[in-house]
Amino acid sequence: MSSIDLSTNYMGLKLDNPLVPSSSPLSRSIDSARRLEDAGASALVMYSLFEEELRNEEKMTARFLIHQTIGHPEAESFLPFDSCFQPGLDQYLEHLADLKNALNIPIIASLNGISLNGWVENGRLLEEAGADALELNVYYLDTDPYETNMDVENRYLELLRMLRHKVHVPIAMKLSPYFSALPRFIRELENEGADAVALFNRFYQPDMDIDTLQIIPQLHLSTSADALLAMRWIAILYGRVKLSMAATGGVHTAADVIKLLLAGADVTHLCATLLLHGPEQLTRIKAGLMSWMEQHEYASVKDMKGRLSQQFCADPESFERTNYLAVLDSYSSPPGMRR
């Protein structure tokens, strides 16, 4: 067992293994972050700094702490404005510094934003606070019928370009699967200085309440089935791009990790499974990975990486075939039947 080498290189960060907890509430407390490290996490993506959340908080602070008065003689204010009040950004930066002090593994700060200015300025602050890398969790849903795919992609590229000029640490772009020419786009990101891509971002999909005719938010944790999308694309991209690839979304078991590494991922991001089963689940996955490697005689993660990528697998077309046909085909009658 001890001869197995789990180490991997993720955007220049030399990691002990490919198991990296992704952005989740577990990084909010030093205690649970330590448990992740103890369980074997090789790096940690911090919970996301949501630009929208910061903006909401700004509004809340302005409305309920700074401009409290309603002009009544008996009440000039309603809530105490404690001098130790710390805006969300300051608190995030301080927490990042605390994590750096408490943990030995690299810390990847996660930025989740919507505007150019916010991203770039906040990215610089995160680097100053000690982040080993940045993950940009880009979410932009294009609803403008006059905006082209190039317009959309240019937003990402522009953002990356500006940030690249401001920070020196590696940058990972966390992407959605909804790009019409994903390989080309990822190459462009690479050209603009991205060090990694994390595939894929899962969006919360709104739902409808058919009684009240209202749109309501929904949150579902991922399942292993969700990892297949990343597996396919990583397998396709492996060897075609130089930057690092992280698989994210639906990584629940050692089997999921193994598949993604075989597809060509450098690291796998764990989230829902850690929330469901606790930080110690990472140890179990790691043991499962090693056990499988031992059984299948892989000495290192490096040997595994990309072994079932499109480049190397026996049936390269299988990654390009659509599910639709495969599913339909599974319901076809055998040729010898009357039907």
Residues that bind another protein (CB under 8 A): 29, 54-55, 57-58, 60-67, 69-89, 91, 121, 212-213
List the beta bridge partners of residue 229: none
Residue pair 247/269 in contact (Cβ under 8 Å)? The answer is yes
CB nearer to another protein: pick between 80 and 335: 80
Q: How far is the CB of 220 from another protein (least distance, A)?
A: 16
Q: How far is the CB of 272 from another protein (least distance, A)?
A: 17
Q: Counting beta carbons within 10 angstroms of the beta carbon of residue 280, is it exposed (0 to 12), middle (13 to 18) or buried (19 or more)?
A: middle
List the beta bridge partners of residue 244: 196
Q: How far is the CB of 219 from another protein (least distance, A)?
A: 11
Tokens of 262: 């075989």
CB nearer to another protein: pick between 181 and 208: 208
DSSP state letters, 94-156: HHHHHHHHH-SS-EEEEEEES-HHHHHHHHHHHHHTT-SEEEEEE------TT--HHHHHHHH
Q: Which residues contact 60 (CB under 8 A, 6 or more apart)?
A: none
DSSP state letters, 173-237: EEE-S--TTHHHHHHHHHHTT--EEEE-PPPPPPEEETTTTEEE-------GGGHHHHHHHHHHH
Q: How far is the CB of 125 from another protein (least distance, A)?
A: 10
CB nearer to another protein: pick between 74 and 144: 74
Residue 284: count other Cβ atoms within 10 Å of its Cβ.
16
CB nearer to another protein: pick between 53 and 294: 53
CB nearer to another protein: pick between 84 and 314: 84
Name the phi and psi angles at 279, rounded to 5: -55, -30
CB nearer to another protein: pick between 67 and 220: 67
CB nearer to another protein: pick between 76 and 147: 76
Tokens of 337: 């039947």
Tokens of 313: 């697998």
Q: How far is the CB of 212 from another protein (least distance, A)?
A: 7
Helix (H) or strand (E) holding 48: strand 44-50
Q: How far is the CB of 70 from another protein (least distance, A)?
A: 5
Q: How far is the CB of 83 from another protein (least distance, A)?
A: 5
